[in-house]
């Protein structure tokens, strides 16, 4: 495995690996991580670090994977609170009462692609295997958010909705947010058809020339990271406070799960973050 990144660091590569952002690691009141496909106990197409309960894996193995990742990355297993993603843009504010939801307690909602909290002892968990993770940290009022931005969530501006929801619940000012985008499938590998590209070209307040690139045969290359970056800037987040991952999930398929690389026969990664 040849790990190279200017924006992220790989930890515990020989045991239970996880990634962190250099920029977010400077914020000492949070803990964050992004899992890899390595270091777990799952087997077959899920080998070995699968963190999704809904893809047919043995749930006991998924639970053990979470426990191993938590031990490696410094999270309390009992604090985990998961999303219930369906490529929409509902953002949920969670508290200590929600701990365990979607992990060791049943999901109580069916459409949650973003999570926010301002309480310590609550670890937000969201899921990925090419779609774009969005990390939000309010450095003023000490609140955090995670969001899952696939192409539908991106054109639905879930990043903007997280910023607004954090403002409503916690008084977050956009200029105080430090954000990170990715890892996800990058523009080098993300080819889409014309109907999909049309949704992005309809974002006329943004500079679509920087994230929609026409090809021959009615195909387009799409830059989800840049699209989400522009959406965050439009929502008031300072450009200098946004970091884009330089790790493409498809290009780094030996380390990261990619839906495209595996043709859907895969496990799932998680982003995790908590206040400390």
Give the CATH number for residue 90: 3.60.140.10
Tokens for 25, please give them. 């690691």
pLDDT recorded at residue 176: 98
Residue 224 lies in a domain: no
pLDDT in tens, the chain (276 residues): 789 999 999 999 999 999 999 999 999 999 999 999 999 999 999 999 999 999 999 999 999 999 999 999 999 999 999 999 999 999 999 999 999 999 999 999 989 999 999 999 999 999 999 999 999 999 999 999 999 999 999 999 999 999 999 999 999 999 999 999 999 999 999 999 999 999 999 999 999 999 999 999 999 999 999 999 999 999 999 999 999 999 999 999 999 999 999 999 999 999 999 999
Report yes or no on 231 lying in a domain: no
Sign of the Cα torsion 275, 111, 205, 167 reads negative
Residues 6+ apart with CB under 8 A from 65: 40, 41, 42, 48, 49, 50, 51
Number of domains in the chain: 1
Phi/psi for 156 (5° steps) reads -80, 0
Q: For strands 242-244 and 177-181, give the pairing.
A: parallel
Q: Considering only CA atoms, which of 109, 122, 116 is closest in space to residue 78?
A: 122
CB crowding 18-34: b at 16 or more within 10 Å, else e: bbbbebbeeeeebbbbb
How far is Cα 182 from Cα 191, in angstroms, rounded to an integer?
A: 17
Q: Which pLDDT score, from 0 to 100, does residue 2 have? A: 81
101 in a structural domain: yes
Q: Where in the sequence is the domain holding 113, given as residue range(s)?
A: 8-185+241-275
Is residue 3, in this structure, part of any structural domain at all?
no
Residue 232 lies in a domain: no
Asked if the structure places residue 208 within a domain, the reply is no
- This prediction has a pTM of 0.98
Q: Classify residue 271: in a domain, yes or no.
A: yes
How far apart CA 83 and CA 243 sit, in angstroms, is 23
Helix (H) or strand (E) holding 8: strand 8-11
d(CA 134, CA 115): 10
Q: Please check whether residue 235 is in contact with residue 174, taking contact to mean a CB–CB distance below 8 angstroms.
A: yes
Residue 74 has a pLDDT of 98
In a domain, 109, yes or no: yes
């Amino acid at each position: 495995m040849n790990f190279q990144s200017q924006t992220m660091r790989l930890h515990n590569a020989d045991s239970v690996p996880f990634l962190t952002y250099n920029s977010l690691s400077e914020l000492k009141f949070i803990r964050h991580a992004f899992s890899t496909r390595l270091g777990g106990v799952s087997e077959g197409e899920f080998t070995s670090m699968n963190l999704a309960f809904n893809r047919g894996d043995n749930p006991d193995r998924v639970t053990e994977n979470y426990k191993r990742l938590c031990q490696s990355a410094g999270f309390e297993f009992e604090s985990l609170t998961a999303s219930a993603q369906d490529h929409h843009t509902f953002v949920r504010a969670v508290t200590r009462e929600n701990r365990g939801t979607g992990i060791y307690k049943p999901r109580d909602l069916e459409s949650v692609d973003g999570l926010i909290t301002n309480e310590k002892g609550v670890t937000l968990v969201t899921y990925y295997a090419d779609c774009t993770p969005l990390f939000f940290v309010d450095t003023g009022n000490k609140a955090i958010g995670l969001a899952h931005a696939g192409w539908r969530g991106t054109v639905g501006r879930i990043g903007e909705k997280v910023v607004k929801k954090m403002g409503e619940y916690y008084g977050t000012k956009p200029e105080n947010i430090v954000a990170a985008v990715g890892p996800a499938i990058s523009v080098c590998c993300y080819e889409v058809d014309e109907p999909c590209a049309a949704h992005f070209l309809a974002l006329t307040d943004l500079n679509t020339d920087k994230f929609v690139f026409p090809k021959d045969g009615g195909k387009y290359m799409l830059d989800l990271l840049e699209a989400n970056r522009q959406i965050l800037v439009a929502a008031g987040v300072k450009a200098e406070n946004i970091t884009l991952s330089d790790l493409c999930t498809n290009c780094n398929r030996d380390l990261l799960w990619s839906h495209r690389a595996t043709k859907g026969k895969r496990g799932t990664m998680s982003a995790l973050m908590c206040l400390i």
